[in-house]
Amino acid sequence: MVRRKSGTGRATDGDSAEGSAQAPVAPAAAIRWSDLSADEQTALKRLNRGPYQGLDAATAERLLALGLVASRPAGIGISRVGRELVISTLLAAREGGSGDGG
């Protein structure tokens, strides 16, 4: 545990509440590639390579709600979970599988 030297008091186990407010609504681990629309799949693949200027607002909102992308100062970027989903899907396709059926 990191202790802060400030005049506001000691760090306690209750201090972790700050990070929990930013958790995605849906557990991203439960999202499968086949659950995404073709536009969402394309957006994630492009975001995996870097900034995607063509990302429309509706797709961005859905991917944010699913926890697959994150809002950053420079714009929308792929989250760790989103990147893992894209990479696992691409690897499954490379190995001759169809991923998770999508």
Separation of CA 12 from chain center = 28
Residue 73's domain spans which residues? 25-94
Interval 42-87: pLDDT, tens: 999 999 999 999 999 999 999 999 999 999 998 999 999 999 999 9
Residue 75 DSSP SS3:
strand
Q: Is residue 18 part of a domain?
A: no
Residue 100 confidence class, pLDDT cut points 50, 70, 90: low
Total domains in the fold of the chain: 1
d(Cα 40, Cα 59) in Å, to the nearest integer? 6
DSSP secondary structure of 9-20: ----GGGGHHHH
Which residue do the tokens 């975001």 mark?
47
Is there a domain that residue 101 lies in? no
Structural contact between residues 99 and 93, judged by C-beta atoms closer than 8 angstroms = yes
